[in-house]
Structure 1
Amino acid sequence: MKYHHVITGKFIKRVNRFLAHVWLEGAEQIVHVKNTGRLKELLIPGAEVLLEQSGNPERKTPFSLIGVYKGETLVNIDSQVPNPVVYEALTTGAVREIGPAEHVRKEVKYGNSRFDLYYETKSKKGFIEVKGVTLEKEGVALFPDAPTVRGTRHIYEMMEAVENGYQGTILFLIQMIGVHCFTPHSEMDPEFANALRVASQRGVQLLAYDSIVTTNDIVIGKPVEVRL
């Protein structure tokens, strides 16, 4: 996925889930934050950030915060990125465990559920729920960074799809490079972590991939070990 009109700034403070103050082009400006997660380990005063300029002159906040440098590592924080990145990866066969998909659809309703992606290959059909990961500690990627009742519900819904003959996958897209494994953040949300372990035992495929992130692009990288 490509960005356009990206510039750098310095993070000052976060006002709420949606807005932050950034030092940009010689002045303090209010910008939109494209991630409602906590991001406490990333959005610290003085951090170098990436911002995309909107092409809409009617917007009250002309810039959106899309990336943060954590040391020398660039972390994409755009919560709208994971789905299109995985969609593109499916169409090109970059998700090795699934292979090239002949047919991919977004936001597909199934029963009382709505999954991020539906795909068909020559031998199988299935659903994928995509989770973007921005939290990293000592080389370990963690999800979630805040309790997620909705995320836990998605896991049980995916188990139901598997029971009904579909391949079910939960794919954690780690929005950075340089981690050596992924694990559920049990301390933050024990119910989510437990549901993930149950899902693994009941046939849901758990995958994690890192990402190649540049100042104006993000694409899927390589598989990362999932540790439960």
Structure 2
Amino acid sequence: MVFQQELVHGTLIKRYKRFLADVTLDDGSVVTAHCTNSGTMKSCLEEGAEVYLSPAGDPKRKTRFTWEMIKINDGWVGINTSNPNLLAFEAILEGKIPRLEGYTQVRREVTFGDSRFDVYAENDTEKCFVEVKNVSLKEGNYALFPDAVTTRGQKHLITLMEVKKQGMRAVMLYIIQRCDVAVFAPAVEIDPAYAAVLKEAVSAGVEVIPMQALVTPAEIRLIRKLPFEI
């Protein structure tokens, strides 16, 4: 996923009200950027750290910028939660995700039951529903999800189990937007209920694919599949 506009560099002052962040740009001006990440952002929030913002395309929007990434441990961590969906769509369309190659039709935002999944793909032999989750939480060498309790995430897992029951592929695709981790796992201490439902879903045949992404000011690119522990 290549950024269509040149990103704007700055330094994080603070994040507040979940969806807002004040940033000092390199020219000394202070702007308020939209933060798409509604979670705690634990382990990827550091006041005074370098950040990159994207200019907003809508002149009527209250915030002129969207917060895209922050520099943590000498590497960029993607915090825009809308990017993984586009990244996953492009990668599945181009056959660049292991075990998700060979689809001739790929669509975004497709409904099944009372859930809307991020990607739907099919070919002559199978149909597949894919739910995409952004992962930014780090603990030691582990990338963990979620960073806050998510009943919506549990609902997606339950619906994916129903997809599997009806003879279709059901995939949980975790996009890990940082390179300082090596293993993916559910955040049991933060949301034990989600971890339990994920374990149940895996036993029911729901596939888990954790993909690590290299985040840079020019692009976000999937680089490898990580091992996972349930």
TM-score by length of 1: 0.96
Amino acid at match of 2:11: K
CA contact (8 A) 1:99 1:121 kept: no
Partner Cα distance (2:124, 2:74) in 1: 42
Instruction: Name stretches of at least 5 consecutive residues in structure 1 with no aligned partner.
Output: none
Instruction: Name stretches of at least 5 consecutive residues in structure 2 with no aligned partner.
Output: none
Partner Cα distance (1:16, 1:190) in 2: 26
Count of aligned pairs between the two proteins? 228
Partner Cα distance (1:96, 1:68) in 2: 28
Partner Cα distance (1:60, 1:132) in 2: 25
Provide the residue aligned with 2:152 in structure 1.
150
For 1:1-228, list aligned pairs within 5 A: 1-3=1-3, 4-24=5-25, 25-228=27-230
Partner Cα distance (1:54, 1:159) in 2: 38
What's the RMSD between the two structures over aligned residues?
1.3
Q: CA deviation at 1:122?
A: 4.0
CA contact (8 A) 1:2 1:217 kept: yes
Partner Cα distance (2:186, 2:60) in 1: 40
Amino acid at match of 1:195: V
Partner Cα distance (1:111, 1:58) in 2: 35
Partner Cα distance (1:181, 1:41) in 2: 16
Which secondary structure does the structure 2 equivalent of 1:225 belong to?
coil
Partner Cα distance (1:29, 1:175) in 2: 24
CA contact (8 A) 2:113 2:159 kept: no
Partner Cα distance (1:40, 1:98) in 2: 30
CA contact (8 A) 2:141 2:181 kept: yes
Partner Cα distance (1:126, 1:70) in 2: 35
Which secondary structure does the structure 1 equivalent of 2:158 belong to?
helix
Q: CA deviation at 1:160?
A: 0.6
CA contact (8 A) 2:42 2:137 kept: no
Partner Cα distance (1:179, 1:71) in 2: 11
Partner Cα distance (2:101, 2:6) in 1: 33
Which secondary structure does the structure 2 equivalent of 1:226 belong to?
coil
Q: CA deviation at 1:125?
A: 1.2
Equivalent pairs: percent with the same residue?
A: 36
Partner Cα distance (1:202, 1:116) in 2: 21
Structure 1 runs (4+) greater than 3 angstroms displaced: none
TM-score by length of 2: 0.95
CA contact (8 A) 1:94 1:100 kept: no
Q: CA deviation at 1:139?
A: 2.0
